[in-house]
Amino acid sequence: KHHIVFLKTHKTGSSTFQNILFRLGEKEGLVFAFPARSFQFSYPSNFSKKSVKELPENATEFDIICSHMRLDVEEVKKVMPMDSVYLTILRDPVESFESVFVYYGSYVPAFKLASEFPDPLTAFLEKPDLYYNSTMLSNSIAKNPMAYDLGLRAHDSDGPSLQELQKIEKTFSLVMITEYFDESLILAKELLGLNLEDIIYLKLNARQKEDVVSISKDQAAKIRTWNLLDVALYNHFRKKLQNKIEHYGTQRMEQEVRTLRGLIAEVTQQCIQDKAVKPEQLEEKLRPWQPNTVSIFGYNLKGNLTQVEYDKCLRLAWPELQYHSFLYNKQYRKSM
């Protein structure tokens, strides 16, 4: 039986992996540890057992946890079985910081202060310390957002200590890398004993292209300096993933990735009306939650699907909040 802890990091492609876990959990009847309130575990505060909804009546343990939190391993261990497999995902900090900056531009005070300039990102990167007040909890994600999610001291300006890296290595069986998303999925499949069918996915929660800020070399260098801890983590675990791919067998990996992409193309052809479309073109059931900063794309399903096909296709395209609510309602036999 699967016992899985997925630390869902911000703006790394984690929603796409969470959807895979939602489908796995539903298929296998796993018990989800859901937040007691809303969709996150009291983020940006540290994870606490208290923020978890109690076990459903007919269950004796939780099997899977995969909603946003700031990790505190000792607290997670109070909720999840001891033999749980821990996974997370990291993305190139230049990309993930750009995404965090734009997505949370009007929510995070440090970003909001820079938003009055014609080019907010350039203004922010010019003098980040002018806008960033590290004592404000609502600024948590404004510096080293991935390290913050992992529970590290993200507001500091130096890299991780050896001890911190070792602790993460000891905790996580797999740190996936967004730039090697498909390869990471194959490794996750091996680790969890899944089939290729289980890891078929549609890219979820992505912005429309127009909302992605293109980053100059100078900006990229400044983002790296500002997010030194994220850079160190990313470089470390990217190297580690590359080693795992080599160990798995580069050719074998290429073959698996090719097969996976073939399956994804097939399912996309079967399920999806166009490609990803703007939120205005989506029915409510399939429309991802929209921040007030950028447009998040989603998928319309083909109109001629049989009920069985529809149920399968819906789950692939279902945005996080809708699928989460559905699973919650099913597990507790009451509405969120």
Ligand X SMILES: *[C@@H]1O[C@H](CO)[C@@H](O)[C@H](O)[C@H]1NC(C)=O
Does 135 interact with ligand X (rule: CB under 6 A)?
yes
CB of 276 to ligand X, least distance (A): 18
Of 53, 203, 302, 315, which lies in the binding site for ligand X, with binding defined by CB under 6 A? 302
Does 268 interact with ligand X (rule: CB under 6 A)?
no
Of 59, 123, 213, 277, which lies in the binding site for ligand X, with binding defined by CB under 6 A? 59
The size of the chain, in residues, is: 336
Of 1, 58, 158, 335, which lies in the binding site for ligand X, with binding defined by CB under 6 A? 58
| CA gap 46, 204 in Å, rounded | 26
Does 292 interact with ligand X (rule: CB under 6 A)?
no
323: how many CB neighbours lie within 10 A of its CB? 21
| CA gap 42, 331 in Å, rounded | 21
String marking each residue 185-224 x if it binds ligand X according to CB under 6 A: ----------------------------------------
Beta bridge partners of 174: 87
Does 335 interact with ligand X (rule: CB under 6 A)?
no
Question: Which region among 111-119, 132-140, 212-220, 256-264 touches ligand X (by CB under 6 A)?
Answer: 132-140
Q: Tell me which residues in 70-109 interact with ligand X (CB under 6 A).
A: 72
Long-range contacts of 186-195 (CB under 8 A, 24+ apart): 186/248, 186/253, 186/256, 186/257, 186/260, 187/241, 187/244, 187/245, 187/248, 188/17, 188/87, 190/248, 191/85, 191/87, 192/2, 192/4, 192/24, 192/85, 194/24
Beta bridge partners of 65: 5
Does 333 interact with ligand X (rule: CB under 6 A)?
yes
33: left (phi over 0), alpha (psi -120 to 50) or beta: beta
String marking each residue 139-168 x if it binds ligand X according to CB under 6 A: ------------x-----------------
Beta bridge partners of 64: 4, 32
Does 304 interact with ligand X (rule: CB under 6 A)?
yes
If the CB atoms of residues 53 and 302 are measured against ligand X, the closer one turns out to be: 302
The site for ligand X (CB under 6 A) is made up of 29, 46, 56, 58-59, 72, 133, 135-136, 151, 302, 304, 333
